[in-house]
């Protein structure tokens, strides 16, 4: 019985350390990566695997079912909500042209031929465009040109 | 056990510190949203580490609240920024479209 | 006479939202942490109030669970999770920094809201790929993938996305949807295929 307890403790400690290490690399990646989309990859990492590992460690160490059920609930919430917020943020990031296009190998949303004249450069996402209506019309025209006008998928 | 405490909290603290740097530097609002999201996740990871190492289940309900709060916060900011892009100009664009 | 359609509509709505109700009651009980009849009853009341006051559009189609497919899907999912988390972590700490990324557009074969949602969620959960946009009509996902070196890598990632879709459909899809996997992505049997440019 005692040995089993120590094995469980060692497993829990390893899981905790691995999860904490993933959180550290998330901070590092957030600092080192170039644009919002790549930083988003660094951000989803602790949110999914790191917190999952630490939750498993907590479930191993804690006694009493109520805490374990609640940890399970937190893990389920994280796995349900993390993709949604990641998707929403990265979609807005792409639409606001807050992407380092020069670091993209392939961009199949707008593949090459359409000149990016709506927003120039890599403006901060919270800077409003100079002429919102005109730039929106231009971007709609760009959207409709290759495809024959599909409605925007978001709204 | 003390060494484990120190190692885990050092890594979590380092990650939180780096995230704070990105939060301060972040050239755009979206970078800051991502950084805040990660910071809240690291905070909840720290709470979970405490619960696991000290065998103390009192902070577990806080985890539920923090994880849901992170989601609601980042989604609402993302919707806000997206609204600035899509909805605001759509009002004076409507006359031209005709349908 | 006029009450009858309304009541059947309400029943229809309730039957469609039964999984949501069960999930809400489950969450309520898990949040309380203990099992008791009072928690169950109050959970049912709260779940009914939530679903009636804040109605959601019903999920068309429903799931068909295939146990073997589900096990395969979950196994690959967790394997992918661990492998790509390790990969992204290595890219953050290695001195060379990250490589280039890419935005790829993948034509999917399935045409169900629920399955597309599961595919997109599981793709985004795995570090290294984030779904940016989704064209529901043309059934394409736009995915930002990290660390591609050349065009072969791009094709490999695209094949990985299609394999993920196949696992999801084999785990949750109906017989028709599994049969639709055999078709090539472009020639959809429903006729809503691509327009000529």
pLDDT tens string B36-91: 888 999 999 999 999 888 888 888 888 888 888 888 888 888 888 776 654 444 44
Which residues from chain A sit within 8 angstroms of residue C103, using beta carbons? 94, 104, 106-109
Confidence of residue B98 (pLDDT cuts 50, 70, 90): very low
The distance of Cα A128 from the centroid of its chain, to the nearest Å, equals: 24
DSSP-derived letter for residue A49 is I
Let me know: does B19 contact B38? Beta carbons within 8 Å. Answer: yes
CB pairs under 8 A between A and C: 139
Does A45 score more than 90 pLDDT?
Answer: no
- Judged by DSSP in three states, B39 sits in helix
Q: What is the pLDDT of residue B99?
A: 34
Which residues from chain A sit within 8 angstroms of residue B43, using beta carbons? none
Q: What is the pLDDT of residue A3?
A: 67
> Hey, is the C-beta of B79 within 8 angstroms of any chain A C-beta?
yes
> Hey, is the C-beta of C168 within 8 angstroms of any chain A C-beta?
no
Kindly report, residue by residue over C105-156, the tens digit of the pLDDT. 888 888 788 888 888 888 888 878 888 888 777 788 888 888 787 888 888 8
> Hey, is the C-beta of C91 within 8 angstroms of any chain A C-beta?
yes
- Choose the closest CB to A30 out of B9, B35, B88: B35
With pLDDT > 90 as the criterion, what percentage of chain A qualifies? 8
Cβ of B78 within 8 Å of Cβ of A17? The answer is no
The 8 Å CB, 24+ separation contacts for C52-57 are C55/C13, C56/C17, C56/C20
Confidence of residue C22 (pLDDT cuts 50, 70, 90): confident
Which residues from chain A sit within 8 angstroms of residue B88, using beta carbons? 132
CB pairs under 8 A between A and B: 202
The pair of structure tokens assigned to C46 is 């709260």
Measure the CA–CA gap between C181 and A124, rounded to whole angstroms.
Answer: 42
- Of C188, C192, C191, C168, which Cα lies nearest the Cα of C180? C188
- Of C75, C139, C80, which Cα lies nearest the Cα of C112? C139
Measure the CA–CA gap between A124 and A97, rounded to whole angstroms.
Answer: 9
- Choose the closest CB to A70 out of C30, C88, C144: C30
Range from A13-27, A33-47, B54-68, C17-31 that averages highest in pLDDT: A13-27
Kindly report, residue by residue over A121-133, the tens digit of the pLDDT. 344 444 444 445 5
| DSSP track, chain C | --HHHHHHHHHHHHHHTHHHHHHHHHHHHHHH-S--HHHHHHHHHHHHHHHHHS--PPPSS-----HHHHHHHHHHHHHHHHHHHHHHHHHHHSTT---EEEEEEEE-----HHHHHHHHHHHHHSTTEEEEEEETTTTEEEEEEEEE-SHHHHHHHHHHHHHHHHHHHHHH--HHHHHHTTS-SSS-TTS--PPP-
- Choose the closest CB to A73 out of C31, C100, C142: C31
Burial C19-33 (b: 16+ CB within 10 A, else e): eebeebbebbbbebb
CA distance C145 to chain A (A): 9
pLDDT top residue among A80 and A99: A80
Kindly report, residue by residue over C40-49, the tens digit of the pLDDT. 899 999 888 8
CA atoms within 13 A on the CB side of A11: 13
> Hey, is the C-beta of B58 within 8 angstroms of any chain A C-beta?
no
Q: What is the pLDDT of residue C109?
A: 83
- Choose the closest CB to A25 out of C93, C98, C151: C93
Does A139 score more than 60 pLDDT?
Answer: no
> Hey, is the C-beta of B93 within 8 angstroms of any chain A C-beta?
yes
């Amino acid at each position: 019985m005692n040995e089993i307890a120590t094995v469980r403790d060692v497993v829990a400690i390893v899981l905790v350390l691995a999860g904490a290490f993933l959180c550290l690399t998330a901070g590092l990646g957030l600092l080192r990566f170039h644009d919002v989309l790549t930083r988003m990859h660094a951000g989803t990492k602790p949110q999914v695997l790191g917190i999952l590992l630490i939750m498993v460690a907590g479930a191993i160490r804690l006694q009493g079912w109520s805490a374990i059920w609640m940890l399970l609930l937190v893990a389920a919430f994280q796995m349900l909500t993390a993709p949604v917020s990641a998707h929403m943020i990265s979609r807005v990031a792409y639409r606001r042209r807050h992407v380092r296009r020069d670091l993209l190998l392939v961009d199949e949303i707008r593949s090459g031929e359409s000149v990016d004249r709506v927003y120039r450069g890599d403006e901060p996402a919270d800077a409003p465009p100079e002429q919102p209506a005109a730039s929106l019309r231009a971007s709609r025209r760009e959207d409709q040109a290759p495809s024959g006008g599909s409605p925007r998928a978001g709204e | 056990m003390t060494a484990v405490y120190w190692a885990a909290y050092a890594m979590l603290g380092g990650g939180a510190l780096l995230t704070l740097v990105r939060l301060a530097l972040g050239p755009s609002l979206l970078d800051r949203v991502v950084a805040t999201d990660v910071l809240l996740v690291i905070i909840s990871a720290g709470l979970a580490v405490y619960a696991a190492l000290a065998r103390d289940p009192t902070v577990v309900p806080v985890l539920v609240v923090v994880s849901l709060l992170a989601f609601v916060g980042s989604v609402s900011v993302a919707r806000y920024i997206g609204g600035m892009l899509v909805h605001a100009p759509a009002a004076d664009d409507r006359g031209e479209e005709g349908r | 006479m006029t009450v009858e359609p309304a009541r059947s509509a309400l029943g229809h709505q309730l039957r469609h939202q039964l999984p949501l109700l069960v999930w809400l009651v489950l969450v309520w009980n898990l949040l309380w942490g203990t099992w008791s009849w009072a928690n169950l009853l109050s959970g049912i009341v709260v779940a009914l109030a939530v679903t009636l006051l804040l109605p959601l559009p019903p999920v068309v189609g429903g799931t068909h669970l295939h146990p073997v497919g589900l096990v395969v899907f979950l196994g690959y999912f967790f394997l992918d999770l661990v492998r790509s988390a390790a990969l992204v972590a290595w890219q953050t700490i290695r001195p060379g920094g990250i490589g280039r990324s890419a935005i790829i557009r993948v034509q999917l074969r399935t045409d169900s809201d629920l399955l597309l949602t599961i595919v997109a969620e599981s793709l985004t959960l795995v570090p290294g790929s984030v779904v940016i946009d989704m064209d529901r009509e043309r059934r394409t996902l736009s995915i930002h993938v990290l660390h591609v070196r050349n065009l072969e890598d791009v094709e490999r990632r695209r094949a990985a996305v299609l394999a993920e879709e196949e696992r999801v459909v084999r785990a949750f899809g109906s017989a028709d949807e599994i049969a639709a996997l055999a078709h090539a992505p472009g020639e959809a049997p429903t006729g809503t295929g691509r327009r000529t440019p």
